[in-house]
Amino acid sequence: MSLKITDDCINCDVCEPECPNGAISQGEEIYVIDPNLCTECVGHYDEPQCQQVCPVDCIPLDDNNVETKEQLMQKYLIITSKA
């Protein structure tokens, strides 16, 4: 699954620079995650870095974008041009 940012986001700016895929950006009101770029940090780290730094715990799994670890790894390989 990719991750999503909920309305609990306080716009603290700590998640965006932590994303190795550039999947996080400022939305109209809160930060948003592009599910096409989010790999839950698979291929980069053992755990999603945005979740690790979020002070309000507002970055859960996105039930609308279900992916296996294998699919996330394939996405990582495509994004990083290693496929």
Predicted TM-score of the model (pTM): 0.91
Q: What is the CATH number of the domain that holds 73?
A: 3.30.70.20
Q: How many domains does the chain have?
A: 1
Q: Which two tokens stand for residue 28?
A: 């109209």
Identify whether 7 is part of a domain.
Answer: no
The reported pLDDT for the residue numbered 82 is 63
Give the model confidence (pLDDT) of 24-63 as tens digits. Answer: 999 999 999 999 999 999 999 999 999 999 999 999 999 9
Q: Please, what is the average pLDDT of the chain? A: 95
Identify whether 23 is part of a domain.
Answer: yes
Identify whether 8 is part of a domain.
Answer: no
Residue 27 belongs to domain spanning: 16-79
Identify whether 3 is part of a domain.
Answer: no
Per-residue pLDDT at 83 exceeds 60: no
Identify whether 62 is part of a domain.
Answer: yes
Identify whether 66 is part of a domain.
Answer: yes
Identify whether 74 is part of a domain.
Answer: yes
The reported pLDDT for the residue numbered 1 is 76
Per-residue pLDDT at 2 exceeds 70: yes
Per-residue pLDDT at 16 exceeds 90: yes
Rounded CA-CA distance 18/59 in Å is 13
C-alpha distances (whole Å) from 46 to each of 17, 26, 49, 52 are 17, 25, 9, 11
Identify whether 56 is part of a domain.
Answer: yes
